[in-house]
Every structure is written in C-alpha cells, then in structure tokens.
Amino acid sequence: MQFVKNGPNVPDKLIQAHEEGRVVFFCGAGISFPAGLPGFGKLVNSLYSEMGVIPDDVQKQALKNGQFDTAVSLLESIKQTPEWRRDVREKLSELLKPDFSSPKSTQTHRSLLRLSTTNDKKMRLITTNFDTVFQKAAEEERIEIKEFSAPLLPVPKKRWDGLVYLHGLLPRDKNGLDHLVISSGDFGLAYLTERWAARFVSELFRTYTVCFIGYSLNDPVLRYMMDALAADKQLGESPPEMYAFGNYKASEYDKEEKSWRAKNVTPILYKNHSRHYYLHETLSKWAETYRDGLSGKEQIVVTTAYTNPMQSDVQNDYAKRLAWALSDPSGIPAKTFSKLSPPAPISWLKVLERANLNAEDLSRYGVIDKSLDEKGSYNIFNRPAKSSLTPNMTIAKSGYHETSWDEVMENLAKWLLQHINNPELILFVSRQGGRLDQKMKWLISSEIRQQDEKRKEKNEIPNTSEC
C-alpha cells in the first residue's frame, strides 16, 4: 500500500503485522541525514581527515571497498596507545553532533517513535546509530522512553519495552566511548567472540518481523547481522521475515530488488529523489495513520471515496489504500463509507472485487485458520468467516448455504443497496454465483419497502398551489 503519491509500496503483510504489534523497526544512519549527520562511509572518511591522517594504500583499499569498520580499526592502530584511541573516539563524538535548525531534522525519528509504540503503550525500537536524535524527538513528542545501550541489552520478547542502542549511545562521560561498536574489533567482540549482539539479533528475529530503515545494501552493519543469522540457519533455524526500505536509481529497480532478495530481505523500494523524500514522507504518513487509529482509516475513506478508482495506478495506488481501510474488523471505516452522501460511486465495486486476498491477508479480518489453502484467492466480498465451520461469507453465491456476516460485510452491503437500480450491481451478483445471501435479500426487501413508503408519503402530501 502506498501512503504517498509516487512513494514505495509497503506490503500489506507488513502493515498488518505492524497493526498486530509484531514489527520492530531497525534503524541505521540514513534516518539521521535530515539532522545533518553523515552515513557510515562519510563519517569514517571525515574521521581520517579530522585526525590529520592521509590514508595509506591499505587504508585506502578498506575505504574504497566499503569496509569502514576495518578502516576505523586501521586508524585506531596507527598509534598503539590508549590516548590515541580515546582521541579518535572523541573526534567521532564531535562529528556526530546533530543540527536541529531544520523542522525536518527530527521528523522521521518522531514518526518511528509513534510507529514503534504498541497498542499497550510499549516501545520496541532498535537503532545502530550513536547519535542523540531520538532523545530530541522524544522531548518534542513529550514522551519518556526507556533506553538500553550496548552491551546491556534487554531480552527482545513480549515484555521488552524501550529503545535499544544496539551499538552504543554517545555517552556524557567520555570513558563510555569505549562501549561504542564501530571498529572491526568492536564488531568481532559483539558478534563473534562475546556474541551479545549476535544473541540479541537471533532472539529478535525468532520473535518479531523486522523492518530495516536507513541502511544501504552493502552496509557493514547489515553484513554482521546477516552473518549471525546465517549461523542460526545452519543450526536449523527457519529464515526470519525481514523487510528493508531502500532507494533505487532510474532503470535499476530490478537490480536493487534482486540484490536485497539475495540477502533474504523483502525490499520496499522508493525512487532516489531529493534527500530520500519518499522514505521520510511515507514514514510520516504511516505514523499519522497509525496514531489516529480508526479515525485515520476513516480519513482515508472520506478523502478517497469520490476519486475515480480507474485512475489509481502504481504511482498513486489509492484504491489499495481504500481497500485496506475498509477491511478494519470493527466495521467503522466501512460504515463511514456506506453512509457517505451522495453514495460512493458504484465504480468502486469492480476494483474492490478484484483486490485479491490470500490466506495471510485474512488476519486483518480476525481470521486465523491454518487449515486454509495458502494459494486460495479471496476478496472483501467473498472470504472465510472467523469460524472454520462456517461457509465463506458472501453477498451472493451459487449454493444454498447461508453465511454469517461481519460488520465489514454488512456495511458494504448497505453501500451496495444505494445502487440497487444500477445494472452493475446485477452483473456483480451474477459473477458471484447469482443467488443472493439471505441477509442481502432481507436488506433489499427492507430498502424496497422504505422506498415505497416514501413514495406514498410524497403522493399523500396535498398540493397547496392548487388550493
């Protein structure tokens, strides 16, 4: 589903998992670009420059190959003294001072704080950044968050509540700079020798669906995590479910997608445009919709219902947004849709009918039935009921069985009633099997009676102009 025009298509499966509190966002350096902070590569190159070191051939090769953790180790080993290492890390701290002069500097961090707060008010968020932008964003949101900084990490299970700085947080006390995970030696301790980071990551992926934001395809941080997961896979662990936002240049979409999928990551790709505009705007709109809950979905209904569904396309797939909003199991967005005046156009009927659902998508309706055919195809007008013993709920069917509707189906039926004289409705019933559900028959009969009564009342009103 797209949250902004021309933005990335966020998979419905990820959105639903997020609604259910099963998604953890894993944030890299890219989210802090609006605060004027560099990515890993630029940071390390600046570190060499600020320390007055001209890279030798070995250091140049490490920088050229994107082995920035190795480049830091090489820099720190120039002088084998604690003072030199401390000076390097103090300079690192100076290079990571954010610029909050722009109102956009904390926008994405605020969005991620909202998206990472579950319905039971628990915070589950991870960053490998050292900077303090999340702290500033929390101040602006007027919320208090628990923080966990490496190597003292929580167990990433249901009781976890807080923001995890997996590779450390810039400390107020300079002695704490040693805890930052930035050199290849630091990564080796965290992921290979002491393995506290590897254990955290492994447990995280067993419990949650993870979505990476702010990482490049060849980010060294991702490499270490993927290596840790590869080790788990060799021990028989099933591969985790991972997503990642990533940008692509013109004509390179397929190449980027294949590269991410080679890492067993489902990519959510957006166009390379003006400082990752589509990423930041998508997260902002997603966070607003999530924060607003039902009213956010109702807003999608109200702003979308009168648009021409036939003009919905890959650049602006508002039809998919509407279908997602209508599927809320409370039935409230569908009720809003059914009560619009004038009625939402009948042209939405075919679009909603063609919006196929598979077994995984049905959880948004509260249907969790492992016996369902994974390759089965459903839609909002023809889908399983919560009880596996009950036939599929439908508006019309080919058989004689009766079904039990949920709030979504009932309100969509009421919308269809407003088009009772439209041939498109008859064609729809024919496509569905031709035999109306008993509940639909009752609603139609009731609607006809009401229309007859209104006509009678109108005819009984005396014409005062003739008196």
Flag whether 265 is in a domain: yes
Which residue among 75, 95, 115 closes a domain?
A: 95
pLDDT for residue 107 is more than 90: yes
pLDDT for residue 9 is more than 70: yes
Q: What is the pLDDT of residue 246?
A: 93
- For 242, the 3-state DSSP assignment is strand
Reported as type and span, the H/E element at residue 248 is strand 242-248
- Mean local confidence (pLDDT), 179-188: 94
- Clarify whether residues 128 and 274 are in a common domain: yes
- Clarify whether residues 192 and 53 are in a common domain: no
Task: Please give the residue range of the domain that contains residue 105.
Answer: 12-37+100-285
Length of the chain: 467
Distances (CA, A) of 431 to 134, 158, 396, 412: 53, 45, 9, 17
Reported as type and span, the H/E element at residue 285 is helix 277-304
The three state secondary structure string of 38-69 is CCHHHHHHHHHHHCCCCCCHHHHHHHHCCCHH
pLDDT in tens, 231-277: 777 777 777 789 999 999 888 999 999 999 998 899 999 998 777 89
- Mean local confidence (pLDDT), 299-303: 93
Residues 6+ apart with CB under 8 A from 105: 34, 35, 36, 98, 99, 133, 136
Model confidence at 400, pLDDT cuts 50, 70, 90, reads low
Any idea of the CA torsion for 422, 426, 427, 433, to the nearest 10 degrees? 160
pLDDT for residue 435 is more than 90: no
Q: Output the CA torsion sign for 164, 165, 170, 173.
A: positive
Q: Within 13 Å and on the Cβ side, how many CA atoms surround 397?
A: 17
Task: Please tell me the distance from the alpha carbon of residue 396 to that of residue 410, in angstroms, as a whole number.
Answer: 13
Amino acid in position 106: T
Which residue among 77, 95, 113 closes a domain?
A: 95
Q: What is the pLDDT of residue 388?
A: 64
Roughly what angle, to the nearest 10 degrees, separates helices 277-304 and 107-115? Answer: 60
Task: Please tell me the distance from the alpha carbon of residue 154 to that of residue 160, in angstroms, as a whole number.
Answer: 7
- Clarify whether residues 449 and 396 are in a common domain: yes
- Mean local confidence (pLDDT), 378-385: 86
Question: To the nearest whole percent, how much of the chain has pLDDT over 90?
Answer: 59
- Mean local confidence (pLDDT), 98-120: 95
CA 392 to chain centre: 29
Task: Please tell me the distance from the alpha carbon of residue 231 to that of residue 197, in angstroms, as a whole number.
Answer: 13
Please state the φ and ψ torsions of residue 439, each to the nearest 5 degrees: -65, -40
- Mean local confidence (pLDDT), 46-74: 95
- Mean local confidence (pLDDT), 299-328: 83
pLDDT for residue 219 is more than 70: yes
Flag whether 279 is in a domain: yes
Tokens 């944030």 belong to residue: 27
Flag whether 298 is in a domain: no
- Clarify whether residues 337 and 215 are in a common domain: no
pLDDT for residue 461 is more than 80: no
- The residue ranking higher by pLDDT, 318 or 446, is 446
pLDDT for residue 341 is more than 90: yes
Q: Average pLDDT of the chain?
A: 89
Any idea of the CA torsion for 392, 397, 403, 407, to the nearest 10 degrees? 80
- Clarify whether residues 87 and 149 are in a common domain: no
